[in-house]
């Protein structure tokens, strides 16, 4: 059987890998898979070389204490590739780890496709020259990435954004309200602090304090927090004293139903990242908040070359979603913005119009994003 070696480093890459595997199998049942992945890829029959959660680190200082372990996992992955001799390697997002895998694999003579363009267009643009030596093709999710990388001589396939396949825009608001006994006038406020422990630790206390202030200004408010596996206990502990008590969700279907309920008369308080794009697809007005370690933030500010951190705003090239970053990520500012979104239809309509413009940019030329990605991978296999 033809072997593809996939390497994902965090939850979003795990989902991309799972959808890619499913799309590839529909076309080529003879394909076999190996590498590093998580729960979603395991559902496709994938056996990971080691637990993917060991790679889900964020921030300069968060990575430093784990460098020795990450180096050991890198060596294990490179050795496994050398032993298995795959026809093609697909590294998926998480460039801090996966591009190191790609570099080692290229040195051994293997071909590499990297799925999700590294955001060097946002910071360290000079890094693109090194990437050109590490990968043979990039599968890009965002339309403006192709010309950037092609200028450096890297072939690019724009495959569209997998968020379009998520189902985030197809939830059932009535089912959610019935399940949790919500009255029609109750407003659903999504609270999404991220899936990494470092994110939850920094964001959830701020988000919780913002909710306390908001509850005194907006009646009938009901916070809803989708739980992510690695941080579930931390979220439960941090939200245990919130008033009103939050609804804690497990599972994707319930989360998307909550999105639908929030779209009707609610809003979202969301950490910067792919989750904001998912909430935008669902049409939920939101405020974005984010904090990292102060030293990490100081370093990032010297390197970042773009106006916005939210993908929605980057694609719109406009502040569609208000961003509250670092020292501006405060309970008072967040509460004031959420109050505006919950009481004034004007900014809600403006955000939704921006969401529609952005989503139209994320579709591939034909088919679904996972199918477009599978087409690009199979074309590389056919090239031999």
pLDDT per residue as tens digits for the range 106-120: 999 999 999 999 988
Is residue 236 within 8 A of residue 226, CB to CB? The reply is: no
For residue 196, pLDDT beyond 90? no
Say what the pLDDT of residue 300 is: 58
Instruction: State whether the Cα torsion 224-226-229-231 is positive or negative.
Output: negative
For residue 228, pLDDT beyond 90? no
Q: Which fold has domain 2-160+364-383?
A: Rossmann fold (3.40.50)
Say what the pLDDT of residue 61 is: 46
For residue 60, pLDDT beyond 50? no
In this structure, the number of other CB atoms found within 10 A of the CB of residue 64 comes to 9
Say what the pLDDT of residue 82 is: 98
Average pLDDT, the chain: 91
| Adjacency order of strands within the sheet including 137-140 | 31-36, 2-8, 88-92, 112-115, 137-140, 156-158
pLDDT tens digit string along 312-366? Answer: 998 999 999 999 998 899 999 999 999 999 999 999 999 999 999 999 999 999 9
Nearest to 224 by CA among 205, 237, 234, 211: 211
**Full DSSP string of 31-73:** EEEEEE--HHHHTTT--BSS-GGGG---SHHHHGGGHHHHHHH
Q: How large is the angle between the packed helices 331-343 and 197-215, nearest 10 degrees?
A: 60
Of residues 231 and 47, more confidence is placed in: 47
Average of per-residue pLDDT across 257-270? 97
Rounded to two decimals, the pTM is 0.83
Say what the pLDDT of residue 59 is: 44
Alpha helix stretches (DSSP H) within the chain: 11-27, 39-42, 60-63, 67-84, 95-107, 128-134, 145-150, 173-180, 197-215, 232-238, 252-265, 274-281, 294-303, 311-316, 331-343, 345-360, 369-383
- Give the long-range contacts of residues 210-216, CB within 8 A, separation 24 or more: 210/269, 210/331, 210/332, 210/334, 210/335, 210/338, 211/242, 211/269, 211/335, 212/242, 212/243, 212/331, 213/331, 213/332, 213/335, 214/189, 214/335, 214/338, 214/339, 215/243, 215/244
Q: Return residue ranges of the chain for CATH 3.40.50.2000.
A: 2-160+364-383, 173-362
Of residues 240 and 168, more confidence is placed in: 168
Q: Which CATH superfamily is domain 173-362 in?
A: Glycogen Phosphorylase B; (3.40.50.2000)
Between the alpha carbon of residue 253 and those of residues 81, 259, 277, the distances in Å are: 36, 10, 17
Say what the pLDDT of residue 24 is: 98
Say what the pLDDT of residue 194 is: 82
With H, G, I as helix, E, B as strand and everything else as coil, classify residue 20. Answer: helix
- Give the long-range contacts of residues 175-178, CB within 8 A, separation 24 or more: 175/257, 176/254, 176/257, 176/258, 176/260, 176/261, 177/261
Distance CA 308, CA 273 (A): 11
The H-or-E segment that residue 248 falls in is strand 247-249
For residue 58, pLDDT beyond 50? no
The pLDDT confidence band at residue 305, using thresholds 50, 70 and 90, is: low
């Amino acid at each position: 059987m033809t072997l593809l070696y996939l390497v994902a480093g965090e939850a979003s890459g795990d989902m991309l890998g799972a959808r890619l595997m499913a799309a590839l199998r529909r076309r080529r049942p003879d394909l076999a898979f190996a590498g590093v992945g998580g729960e979603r890829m395991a559902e496709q029959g994938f056996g990971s070389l080691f637990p993917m959660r060991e790679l889900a680190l964020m921030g300069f200082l968060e990575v430093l204490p784990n460098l020795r372990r990450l180096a050991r996992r890198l060596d294990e992955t490179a050795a496994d590739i050398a032993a298995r001799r795959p026809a093609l390697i697909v590294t998926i997002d998480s460039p801090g780890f996966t591009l190191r895998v790609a570099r080692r694999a290229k040195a051994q003579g293997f071909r590499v496709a990297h799925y999700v363009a590294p955001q060097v267009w946002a910071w360290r643009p000079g890094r693109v020259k090194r990437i050109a030596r590490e990968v043979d093709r990039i599968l890009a999710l965002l339309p403006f990435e192709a010309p950037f990388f092609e200028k450096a001589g890297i072939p690019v396939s724009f495959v569209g954004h997998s968020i379009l396949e998520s189902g985030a825009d197809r939830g059932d608001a009535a089912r959610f309200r019935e399940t949790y006994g919500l009255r029609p006038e109750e407003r659903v406020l999504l609270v999404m602090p991220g899936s990494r422990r470092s994110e939850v630790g920094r964001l959830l206390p701020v988000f919780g304090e913002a909710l306390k202030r908001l509850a005194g200004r907006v009646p009938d408010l009901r916070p809803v927090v989708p739980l992510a596996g690695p941080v579930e206990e931390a979220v439960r502990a941090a939200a245990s004293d919130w008033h009103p008590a939050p609804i804690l969700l497990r599972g994707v279907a319930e989360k998307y139903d909550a999105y639908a309920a929030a779209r009707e008369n609610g809003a979202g308080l969301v950490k910067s990242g792919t989750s904001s794009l998912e909430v935008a697809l669902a049409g939920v007005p939101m405020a974005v908040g984010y904090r990292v370690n102060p030293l990490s933030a100081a370093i990032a500010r010297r390197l970042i070359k773009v106006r916005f951190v939210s993908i929605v705003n980057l694609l719109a090239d406009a502040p569609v979603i208000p961003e509250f970053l670092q020292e501006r990520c405060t309970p008072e500012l967040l509460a004031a913005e959420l109050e505006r979104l919950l009481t004034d239809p004007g900014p809600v309509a403006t955000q939704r119009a921006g969401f529609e413009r952005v989503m139209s940019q994320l579709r591939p030329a034909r088919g679904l994003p996972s199918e477009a990605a599978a087409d690009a991978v199979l074309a590389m296999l056919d090239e031999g």
